[in-house]
Amino acid sequence: MESKNTVSSSAFILIAAAGCLLLGFTLGRNTGEITPISIEEASEIFGLSFTPAEKDSMLGSLENQRNRYEALREVKLDNSVAPSLVFNPLPKGFQPEQTQRPLDWGLATEMPLPEKESDIAYMPVHELAVLIKSKKISSERLTKIYLDRIKTYSDTLQCLISLLEDSALEKAKAMDAELAAGKYRGPLHGIPYGIKDLLAVKGTKTTWGAMPYKDQEIDMTATVVNKLNDAGGVLVGKFTLGALAMGDVWYGGVTKNPWNLEQGSSGSSAGSASAVSAGLVPFAIGTETLGSIVSPSTRNGVTGLRPTYGRVSKNGAMALSWSMDKIGPISRSALDDGIVLSIINGEDEMDASTIKAAFNFSSKTDVKKLKIGYFEGFFEGEGSGSQNNRDVLDLLKNQGFELHPVELKTSVNPRAIQIMLSVEGAAAFDELTRLGWDDQLVAQHKNAWPNTFRAARFIPAVEYLQAARQRTILIEEMHQIMQDYDVIVTPSFGGAQLQITNLTGHPALCLPNGFSESGSPTSITLLANLFEEEKLVMLGDLIQKNSDWQAKRPPMFDK
């Protein structure tokens, strides 16, 4: 494997972006002479002070830099162009397992076919796969069940961008024909699914949930979609995301939570999670940069898996943060997520950030041999969902696990390092800010992307790189915490774990663990070492086989 730098994003783009406003002229055009006064005003923003002689000496250099910014902007950069510096989450001396062994999902040989179509719609992938393989249901019939549910409920949920009915039925019929001829592609053969609409599919719109791109067509298909299609999956729809991968507000409205239509679905994988929760698809693909799988999985009461950074190719996906974006499945069970991950896993020459790593899962592995830790401090108190979190610990103890208390403590501030996300997002959507397209986005509050991207222009390139250096420290410290355990259990939003693990690239499995007093779903999160998702699937599967939290259905859509 080629050597990869641990710093991410383009310093060149950042210098152009950060220096421009800092030196007192508007984005996109030179408005006047750089003076000692403008240097003084700009330097106050990032907490530096220079003597009159120092400011005078800088004038020529700063003018040259501004000219370079203008030269950089003469080159149009597509969102798909990644920086030449590639983030690598691997701690010193760590290498993931390379040898891929045969997968054993332990699937049943027989499965009864429910009479009611709603009961079929809510079956997990690992059961639907048995029905398909045994020919108790055809892919065509199964696909029609989900297409009908999408057409019935997607407007209510505001979760759909594009319905791909014709191509889905064509693919389903082809999968049935292959099966009749004795060809079986595996557990996703003939299984319908959906994707978050930041993944390109040739011949469809890829809107990124944002008004400036609502008619955009990208002439390619994302690697993960190609892999799912090759495995026999039947793509039925492209689901909503919060605009440019934030929240649940998109250009067409607010995606709804099936458990409470007065509440949004949370984001940014809003449509994917809402659709799975309402039985519109058995699984969908989401993405996470800083909680966009975990948060909607929690809100909608479904099971989401955020893979290790670098395990799944981002080729064909909208870039928000090159060093933090991750693609993963949202489904009804941990086992389903594992099945999907086994398909989309893999190094990709089209994505330099991918890392070769095996994904080895076997139902014959003794889950009871896992060493389990838990972030003890996050389970204290009586906040919303706290008892549900402790119930998971009790379940594990009753299954014979010894639980080891762990403290999550780091020497660096993850919130400070998070400026990297703001800078990379501002670079990815440079034109949105410079050309004023950001005014078209629905969300315009202080914490929405338009303001975040504008403010990011004031982050100096030096501070971005200092954050990247501290991120290296964070990676090593998190590795020291994780390496003594196979899985660590944590409340999904306990402390700073969500920020930390997204920055370090660690995998997480978010699964339902009950409901709050108000009736909203709650969740628990399992963390593992880098590239050890099979342990998350093993423990998540045990939890779900010994509880019924994931089996609950939103009453309004259980029809």
Residues 29 and 153 in one domain: no
Number of separate domains in the chain = 2
Whether a cis peptide bond, with omega within 30° of 0, leads into 547 is no
Beta bridge partners of 510: 304, 525
Q: What's the pLDDT band for 384 if we cut at 50, 70, 90?
A: confident
- Residue of 10, 138, 292, 297 with catalytic role: 292
What is d(CA 391, CA 387) in angstroms, rounded to the nearest whole number? 6
For residue 31, name the pLDDT band (cuts at 50, 70, 90): low
Look at residue 2 in the predicted model and tell me its pLDDT: 36
Catalytically annotated residue among 265, 268, 269, 353:
268
| Angle ∠(220,17,448) on CA atoms, nearest 5 | 70
Question: Which residue, 310, 305, 427, is CA-closest to 27?
Answer: 427
Written as six digits, the tokens of 185 are: 């592609």
Q: Are residues 135 and 196 in the same domain?
A: yes
Asked if residue 509 belongs to a domain, the reply is yes
Average pLDDT over residues 416-422: 97
Do 400 and 449 belong to one domain?
A: no
Question: Are 401 and 423 within one domain?
Answer: no
Contact yes or no for 137/131 (Cβ under 8 A): yes
Interatomic CA distance for residues 68 and 399, integer angstroms: 63
pLDDT at residue number 4: 37
- Does 108 reside within a domain? no
Q: How far apart are CA 244 and CA 320, in angstroms?
A: 7
Give the pLDDT score at 474.
Answer: 98
Residue that is written with structure tokens 């994917």 in the block: 272
pLDDT above 90 (res 217): yes
Across the range 245-251, mean pLDDT stands at: 98
* 333 and 197 within one domain: yes
CATH of the domain at 306: 3.90.1300.10
Amino acid at 502: N
Considering the candidates 171, 196, 238, 256, report the single residue annotated as catalytic.
196
pTM, full prediction? 0.93
Does 27 share its domain with 135? no
What would the pLDDT profile of 513-532 be if each residue is shown by its tens digit?
Answer: 999 999 999 999 999 999 99
In the annotation, is 292 catalytic? yes
471: in domain: no
In terms of average pLDDT, the best of 4-18, 36-50, 192-206, 372-386 is 192-206
In a shared domain, residues 404 and 422: no
From CA 352, how far away is CA 348, in angstroms rounded?
7
Is 91 within a domain?
Answer: no
User: 326-331 and 303-306: which strand pairing?
Assistant: antiparallel
Q: Per-residue pLDDT averaged across 27-32, rounded?
A: 52
Q: Which helix (H) or strand (E) holds 253?
A: strand 253-254
3-state secondary structure of 159: coil
pLDDT at residue 14, rounded to an integer: 38
Question: At which residue do the structure tokens 């009871």 appear?
Answer: 368
Instruction: Indicate if 304 and 431 belong to the same structural domain.
Output: no
Contacts of 547 (CB under 8 A, 6+ apart): 395, 513
| SS3 at position 103 | coil
237 domain-assigned: yes
448 lies in which domain range?
11-76+414-453
Q: Is 475 inside any structural domain?
A: no
Say yes or no: 533 and 431 in one domain.
no
Please check whether residues 437 and 403 belong to one and the same domain.
Answer: no
Q: Which helix (H) or strand (E) holds 421?
A: helix 419-428
Which DSSP string do the residues of 1-36 spell out, in sequence order?
-----S--S-HHHHHHHHHHHHTT--TTS--S---H
Does the residue 464 lie in any domain?
A: no
The reply to whether 279 falls in a domain is yes
Tens of pLDDT, residues 267-322: 999 999 999 999 999 999 999 999 999 999 999 999 999 999 999 999 999 999 99
Indicate whether 35 and 171 sit together in one domain: no
Please give the helix or strand (H or E) that residue 196 lies within, else none: strand 192-196
Whether 502 and 393 map to the same domain: the answer is yes
CA count, 13 A, side-chain hemisphere, 235: 25
**Residue 84 annotated in active site:** no
